[in-house]
Chain A
Amino acid sequence: MVQPEIETVETDVLVLGGGMAGCGAAYEAAYWAKTKGLKVAIVEKAAIERSGAVAMGLSAINLYLGMRWNQNKPEDFVHYVRQDLMGLSREDLVYDIARHVDSSVHLFEEWGLPIFKNADGTYKREGRWQIMIHGESYKPIVAEAAKTAVGDGNVYERIFAARLLLDAKDPSKIAGAVGFSVRENKIYVFKAKAVIVTAGGATGVFRPHSHGEGLGRIWYAPWNTGSAYSMMIQAGAKMTQMEHRLVVARFKDGYGPVGMWFLLFKAVLKNAKGELVEQKWADLLKEWEPYGSGKPIPTPLRNHQMMADFRAGGAPFYLMTDEAMQRMFQEAGNDPKKIREIEADAWEDFLDMTMSQALIWASDNIDPAKAPTEVVLTEPYLMGSHASGTGAWVSGPEDIAPKEYFWGYNRMTTIKGLFAAGDGVGGSAHKFSSGSHVEGRLAGKAAVAYILDNGATPTVDEGQIQAIKAELWKPFENYEKGKSGSTKDDINPNYLFPKMALHRLQKIMDEYAGGQGSQYITTEHMLQKGLDRLKVFKEDLQKQAARDLHDLLRCWEVWDRTWCAEAHMRHMLFRPETRWPGYYYRADYPTLDDKNWKVFVNSRYDASKGEWQLEKVPFLTNVS
């Protein structure tokens, strides 16, 4: 076993993760850092040009207000989010993203992102908040701006950030992070005055629909392994809404997006008998007031209607792409040129961001203009930037936040100098790509302000570095020590490989924590049993084995997902109600309880004791 070399990097601002939020953070921090010649470094486990959830591109920007054309005000967006998330979000954070987001979108266009336009020069909208883009190169363009802003020497790619470091003299403060290269035997110690966690939310915590070669064909990027949450949980940052997962309706097997079809093409969802699911189950919504009668129908309630129809024998479900496209062809007077344009828009929606859907159509001989496509509900995800409120409990902006939600610097966590953005910040879903970028920028600016006010050089304990090094490299040791125990590598009593560990985690979560295989249902007893199984699983994770750096990366990704799984189960256990039917059901508490539970559930893990503390935190807002 080759011991790793240790390389120490000293910087002022350290950005962990190079997705949309990370690029925003690096970009904005680099600008303000110029005031005092501060250094900004960005760390990414892949190549920033194609990393994060937008790696392959997008066909729409899901959040753009259009304030310059008086299309929307920030308050309007808060009202929409309030309704879709069944009442609970940090409205100060949501408002803050909404009021800034247009500036990032305008910069994207300036940098070279092609945006669809109407004849009057306004952006072409897919829905009230969404605009259409030719987004194949969305991420490479945003990456170019970020990398140019911080300078080549400050970009660290193919380095997996594994642990946050607290200050040796004052553990209430951040001191940096430790990661390892996935290309050479090297551990990186980053010493920093401020750290911004913009790493990914969690996919792969629950068992997906396909378990064979299609294991990776899930709705959201499989390289988003929950490291944003895992790193902050282990460092002792306060987390919020870790119970708030999301489940989405998507085209079957390809998981292609449905937003454009519903919003722009006005396609409808029908069951196998040709009934409109939303109409058939309209009465179900009355059980979930005040959100049930609000518009638009919240995403979990739409899922809830589909689940009810599934139990009543309505499946399979179809998105009527054929009806929608034929209607649009007719409206265009069946002009061949216009038909071609409509068809190109329909296909680009997938070819920009979910190419597999296009290949599945081709493989199934489906022409979406002539036949509908099956729709199913996905397994659950924890995505603080998308539609679950999972993430760190952070300070809001001074001019907007209730005083209880403000402690000095926008987007700073409960650890001094530790900031978050994107998937990392909880209680503020519906940021999507543009909102994540702008939230990264908010954190980037605040991090520089923090450093100028509190500029002490961090103290790092060398003993702690050595301990982390030994821990990170243990899977190599497990393999070397254990491999002589069997004539075949992958069946050995001394260790397990990360792929089997991943399957085991997904099985526990699917069966006990309300996965799609359990119809999203769980109870106190099920969660307790799941936590028991997770405890034993974590003991076995100490025996994970790695043959090479790729295996080592996977070992630590499984750990990240496991921390997310544990936080998720503990939070669900703490909330005795069903707030988001269609995302999950507490069968022992099957109703919504606004009177007692319209509150945030926050948690903190105390690493010194190995204990979790959970608490109710009042919901406050200054947005009327």
Chain B
Amino acid sequence: MPTYVNPDKCDGCRGLARTACMYICPNDLMKYDADLGKVFSKEHGMAFNQEPDLCWECFSCVKACPTGAIVMRGYADVVPLGATLTPLRATDSIMWTAKYRDGQTKRFKFPIRTTPWGSINPFKDFPEPSPADLKKETLYGEPKWLMVDQLPTLKK
């Protein structure tokens, strides 16, 4: 289901450092157009999906949009109209609402992360690397991070 942008909600991420959907789309589909708002009598620019037939429905832009302006509409050549699937992503969980074509609704909430965003200290509690260790088969932090006594090998 390719994304489309609701012109009543998109404000072109004005005041922000970058257009969220354009920054995040893995397939370079979402595009900011400074003049697009004029069509809807708005002074700000807006975003649109420039190539819906190469959209993978990954929802990255939907989750990232600060105004909730991006929506999925099922592929017109494949999917019956009328259903919606809407995520609401917080810092530690995500809520999904599926609204069926026949009107029934299902809602699910799942955790997404157990630590604060930006908290990763990549090489925590591990000594500085030594050139001698470069010749060994062990990776950073092994065997500690394997949680076994030693890295397995084969008897040749």
- Which chain A residues (105-128) contact chain B, with CB distance < 8 Å? 106-107, 111-114
Q: How far is the CA of A134 from the CA of B108 in the complex (A)?
A: 12
Which residues of chain B come closer than 8 Å to A100, judged between CB atoms? 139, 142, 146, 151
Give 5 pairs: A residue, B residue, CB < 8 Å, sorted on A: A56-B56, A100-B139, A212-B78, A213-B53, A356-B1
Which residues of chain A come closer than 8 Å to B9, judged between CB atoms? none
| Interchain nearest-CB distance for B45 vs A (Å) | 16
Q: How far is the CA of A212 from the CA of B113 in the complex (A)?
A: 37
Which residues of chain A come closer than 8 Å to B96, judged between CB atoms? 347, 351, 355, 358
Q: Given contacts A351-B96, A362-B85, A449-B134, are A213 and B76 in contact (CB under 8 A)?
A: yes
Number of interface residues, chain A, beta carbon within 8 A? 85
Q: Is the CB of B57 within 8 A of A452?
A: no
Which residues of chain A come closer than 8 Å to B113, judged between CB atoms? 112-114, 137, 141
Q: How far is the CA of A55 from the CA of B55 in the complex (A)?
A: 13
Q: Given contacts A214-B53, A364-B101, are A358 and B85 in contact (CB under 8 A)?
A: yes
Q: Is the CB of B26 within 8 A of A212?
A: no
Q: Is the CB of A99 within 8 A of B152?
A: yes
Q: Is the CB of B108 within 8 A of A365?
A: no
Which residues of chain B come closer than 8 Å to A398, judged between CB atoms? 137
Q: How far is the CA of A451 from the CA of B2 in the complex (A)?
A: 45
Task: Give B contacts to A, CB under 8 Å.
Answer: 1-2, 23-28, 31, 50-60, 72, 74-85, 87, 89, 94, 96, 98-102, 106, 108, 110-115, 117-123, 128-131, 134-135, 137, 139-142, 145-148, 151-154, 156
Q: Is the CB of A114 within 8 A of B112?
A: yes
Q: Is the CB of A359 within 8 A of B151?
A: no
The residue of chain B having its C-beta at the shortest distance from the C-beta of A158 within the complex is B28
The stretch of A8-16, A143-151, A428-436, A583-591 that contacts the partner chain:
A143-151
Which residues of chain B come closer than 8 Å to A442, judged between CB atoms? 139
Q: Is the CB of A28 within 8 A of B85?
A: no
Interface status of A242 (Cβ within 8 A of chain B): no
Interface SS majority for chain B: loop
Which residues of chain A come closer than 8 Å to B57, judged between CB atoms? 217, 355-356, 359
Q: Is the CB of A103 within 8 A of B139?
A: yes
Interface status of A34 (Cβ within 8 A of chain B): yes
Q: Is the CB of B75 within 8 A of A214?
A: yes
Task: Give A contacts to B, CB under 8 Å.
Answer: 27-28, 30-32, 34-36, 45-47, 49-52, 55-56, 67-68, 73-74, 95, 99-100, 102-103, 106-107, 111-114, 134, 136-137, 141, 144-145, 148-149, 158, 182, 210-218, 221-223, 253, 344, 347-348, 351-352, 355-356, 358-365, 397-400, 438, 441-442, 445, 448-449, 452, 550, 553, 622-623
Neighbour of A49 across the interface among B2, B24, B99, CB < 8 A: B24
Q: Is the CB of B56 within 8 A of A222?
A: yes
Which residues of chain B come closer than 8 Å to A30, judged between CB atoms? 122
Which residues of chain A come closer than 8 Å to B74, judged between CB atoms? 359-360, 363
Q: How far is the CA of A100 from the CA of B148 in the complex (A)?
A: 11
Q: How far is the CA of A87 from the CA of B106 in the complex (A)?
A: 45
